[in-house]
């Protein structure tokens, strides 16, 4: 239950709207009880009055009360749904913002151990489950408690003994049933939460790998595991449904016993009246109606097991300490960017071999260098350290003479442009995907940069910048995606340009065009390019050859060729 406390604090922001929703729910319940109670008494009293009471019995006032209660119940129910759901959606919105604000500083260190499908499920399905806390737990409990108090107080004016009997039975039901069914439903609720995440993760993996599974004949075996998980999930749901039916049966049983008890007690008299007449019907119908307020209580605490399990799963992510914390002091942006690494070492969590070991290098303002080496030698890790995705365990990194730890995040992001190995495009227009890098850019600037990277043909259709690129840019080729990534970097206009395998997977001509574009950049910009390809490296100021996290050689292309070392061997084997 402690796992819910951080999320309950979020309700304070919407306390007024949620409180109004609970009050309207109470009014709805009381109007419903009043309607059934008054109707039952009115029918009984009318039958007793008979034809003889046509001129002595007041038919108009009770009829008006019945209509008033019916109208009040309908109106209160409508506004209660309106206010409660509006408040719930606002809390859910706030909860998502809160969760993502906690998540962003953790990326990538804090979320690296979670698989993508699992992380998505925790941040969507589990966060959505937390909104049950108000609608299915808090509101029904508060509503039931207030109904017990109001009904007992109202009936006490007629008969204190009968009112206390009804109130005590309802209060005991409210105190005993929720913890009883919480304990009974907790295993099923936790199982539903865990199996839901497991099933969705397996489904995503099955859909993504369906082609390979078909090719190698493993589709049926994998589908069998998926079906087994689904059956376990459905079994947990059946258990929870059975408990829900049991809770309703117990409420009906307690209600029936209570009605019988009150009917027996009231037969001897109500208050000072030895012949209570229609008042017996009033107590009976009031009891039946009042127990309707307790109907959601047992089922509510079954869902609490799901809510707590979801809260724990979300907390496992957001309660982690951030691996990287930025300075709060603003670092002034400078023209150009010098980079210096001094004895930098870094190891990924749960790995014994260092990804980077004792690396030292210096890049002057406006220099263009390459980090060359085979896959897994530590090149991309160095770029991640420069962007502070991680912090090194040893050594120091300095940008523009300032230790990297002293840069605030906004200044670092503004000064750095990155072209990653995988350029992601959102399912939006071409304009929207470019404006991510520079929101203030005009259409003329966007058009110019597309022409600069050789993507002018994307503007030749009628839609132009309004063309829909599709999820992940599926309508574009690999070369076009790379060029769009470079276009974003040019629009962002950072003084330090970091390129992670910018020509990987491209044909020789496209690779040559992209490299020519990079060499034409403003001479004040510092460029660090990670690659394992050799084309165009002779135009760089310096080349660093890496292996097993260490720098083995450095120098200009001609110097490294003349030294006949590792770079020369690379060139002999792989140069085009």
Q: pLDDT tens digit string along 510-558?
A: 777 778 777 776 667 888 988 887 777 888 889 898 888 888 888 888 8
Query: Which residues, other chains included, contact 517 with Cβ-Cβ below 8 Å and sequence gap of 6+?
Result: 452, 453, 454, 486
**pLDDT surpasses 90 at 168:** yes
Q: Which two tokens stand for residue 471?
A: 């999820």
258 or 576: which leads in pLDDT: 258
Q: What is the pLDDT of residues 19-63, one digit of tens each?
A: 898 899 999 989 998 888 888 877 877 777 666 555 666 677 778
Contact 450, 487 (CB under 8 A): yes
Mean pLDDT of 180-186: 82
455 or 109: which leads in pLDDT: 455
Q: Which residues pair with 546 in a beta bridge?
A: 551
Query: 541: buried, middle or exposed (CB in 10 Å: 19+, 13-18, 0-12)?
Result: middle
pTM across the whole model: 0.70
Mean pLDDT of 168-186: 86
Query: 420: buried, middle or exposed (CB in 10 Å: 19+, 13-18, 0-12)?
Result: middle
Residue-averaged pLDDT of the chain: 82
Q: Are strands 394-399 and 339-346 parallel, antiparallel or unpaired?
A: antiparallel
Q: What is the pLDDT of residues 387-427, one digit of tens each?
A: 888 888 898 999 888 888 888 888 888 888 888 888 888 88
- Rounded to whole angstroms, how far apart are CA atoms 222 and 246? 36
Query: Which residues, other chains included, contact 168 with Cβ-Cβ below 8 Å and sequence gap of 6+?
Result: none
Kindly list the structural domains of the chain, giving each domain's residue range(s) and its CATH number in brackets, ordered by start. Answer: 2-318 (1.20.1560.10), 339-574 (3.40.50.300)
**pLDDT surpasses 60 at 575:** no
- Rounded to whole angstroms, how far apart are CA atoms 307 and 313? 10
Q: What is the pLDDT of residues 422-435, one digit of tens each?
A: 888 888 888 888 88
Query: 60: buried, middle or exposed (CB in 10 Å: 19+, 13-18, 0-12)?
Result: exposed
Residue 57: predicted pLDDT: 64
Task: Say how many residues make up the chain.
Answer: 576
Query: Which residues, other chains included, contact 411 with Cβ-Cβ below 8 Å and sequence gap of 6+?
Result: 330, 331, 332, 333
> Model confidence at 478, in pLDDT bands (50, 70, 90)?
confident
How far is CA 93 from each of CA 10, 126, 152, 303, rounded to the nearest angstrom?
11, 14, 39, 21
Cβ-defined contacts of 267-273 (< 8 Å, 24+): 270/158, 270/159, 270/162, 271/158, 271/159
Residue 172: predicted pLDDT: 92
Nearest to 381 by CA among 356, 358, 406: 356
Contact 551, 359 (CB under 8 A): yes
Q: What is the pLDDT of residues 316-347, one digit of tens each?
A: 777 777 777 777 776 655 556 788 999 999 88
Q: What is the pLDDT of residues 225-269, one digit of tens each?
A: 889 999 999 998 898 888 888 888 888 899 899 988 888 888 777
Residue 325: predicted pLDDT: 77
Q: What is the pLDDT of residues 148-164, one digit of tens each?
A: 999 889 888 888 888 89
**pLDDT surpasses 90 at 78:** yes
427: left (phi over 0), alpha (psi -120 to 50) or beta: beta
Question: Which DSSP symbol is given to 468?
Answer: B
Residue 480: predicted pLDDT: 80
Residue 201: predicted pLDDT: 82
Q: Which two tokens stand for residue 298?
A: 């047992």
Residue 209: predicted pLDDT: 84
> Model confidence at 1, in pLDDT bands (50, 70, 90)?
low
> Model confidence at 118, in pLDDT bands (50, 70, 90)?
low
**pLDDT surpasses 90 at 116:** no
What are the start-end ranges of the H helices in 319-398?
Answer: 379-386
Residue 112: predicted pLDDT: 67
């Amino acid at each position: 239950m402690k796992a819910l406390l951080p999320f309950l604090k979020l309700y304070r922001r919407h306390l007024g709207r949620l409180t109004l929703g609970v009050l309207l729910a109470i009014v709805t319940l009381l109007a419903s009880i009043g309607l059934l109670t008054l109707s039952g008494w009115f029918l009984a009293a009318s039958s007793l009055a008979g034809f003889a009471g046509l001129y002595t019995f007041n038919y108009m006032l009770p009829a008006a009360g019945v209509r008033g209660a019916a109208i009040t119940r309908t109106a209160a129910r409508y506004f209660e749904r309106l206010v409660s759901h509006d408040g719930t959606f606002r809390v859910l919105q706030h909860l998502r913002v809160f969760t993502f604000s906690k998540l962003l500083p953790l990326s990538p260190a804090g979320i690296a151990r979670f698989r993508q499908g699992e992380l998505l499920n925790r941040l969507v399905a589990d966060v959505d489950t937390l909104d049950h806390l108000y609608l299915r737990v808090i509101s029904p409990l508060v509503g039931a408690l207030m109904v017990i108090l109001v009904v007992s107080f109202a009936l006490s004016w007629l008969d204190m003994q009968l009112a206390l009997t009804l109130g005590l039975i309802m209060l005991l039901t409210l105190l005993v049933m929720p913890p009883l069914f919480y304990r009974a439903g907790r295993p099923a609720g936790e199982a539903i939460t865990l199996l839901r995440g497991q099933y969705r993760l397996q489904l995503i993996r099955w859909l993504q790998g369906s082609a390979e599974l078909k090719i190698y004949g493993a589709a049926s075996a994998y589908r069998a595991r998926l079906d087994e998980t689904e059956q376990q999930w459905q079994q947990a749901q059946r258990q929870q449904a059975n408990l829900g039916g049991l809770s309703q049966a117990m409420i009906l049983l307690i209600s029936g016993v209570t009605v019988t008890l009150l009917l027996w007690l009231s037969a001897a008299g109500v208050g000072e009246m030895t012949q209570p007449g229609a008042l017996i019907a009033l107590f009976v119908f009031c009891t039946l109606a009042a127990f309707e307020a307790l109907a959601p209580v047992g089922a509510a605490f079954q869902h609490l097991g799901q809510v707590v399990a979801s809260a724990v799963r979300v907390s496992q992510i957001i309660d982690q300490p951030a691996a990287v914390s930025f300075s709060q002091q603003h670092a002034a942006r400078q023209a150009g960017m010098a980079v210096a690494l001094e004895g930098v070492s870094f190891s990924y969590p749960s790995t014994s071999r260092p990804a980077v070991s004792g690396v030292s290098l210096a890049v002057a303002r406006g220099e263009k260098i390459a980090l060359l080496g085979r896959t897994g030698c530590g090149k991309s890790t160095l770029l991640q350290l420069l962007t502070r995705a991680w912090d090194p365990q040893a050594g120091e990194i300095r940008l523009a003479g300032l230790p990297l730890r002293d840069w605030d995040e906004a200044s670092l992001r503004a000064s750095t442009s990155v072209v990653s190995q995988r350029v992601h495009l959102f399912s939006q227009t071409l304009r929207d995907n470019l404006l991510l890098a520079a929101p203030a850019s005009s259409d003329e600037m966007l058009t110019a940069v597309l022409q600069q990277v050789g993507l002018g043909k994307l503007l030749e259709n009628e839609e132009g910048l309004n063309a829909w690129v599709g999820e992940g840019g599926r309508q574009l080729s690999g070369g076009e995606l790379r060029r769009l990534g470079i276009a974003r970097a040019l629009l962002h206009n950072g003084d330090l340009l970091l390129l992670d395998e910018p020509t990987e997977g491209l044909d020789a001509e496209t690779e040559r065009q992209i490299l020519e574009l990079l060499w034409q950049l403003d001479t004040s910009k510092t460029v660090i390019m990670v690659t394992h390809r050799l084309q165009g490296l002779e135009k760089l100021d310096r080349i660093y050859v890496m292996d097993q996290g260490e720098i083995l050689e450095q120098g200009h292309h001609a110097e490294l060729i003349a030294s006949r070392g590792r770079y020369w061997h690379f060139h002999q084997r792989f140069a085009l």
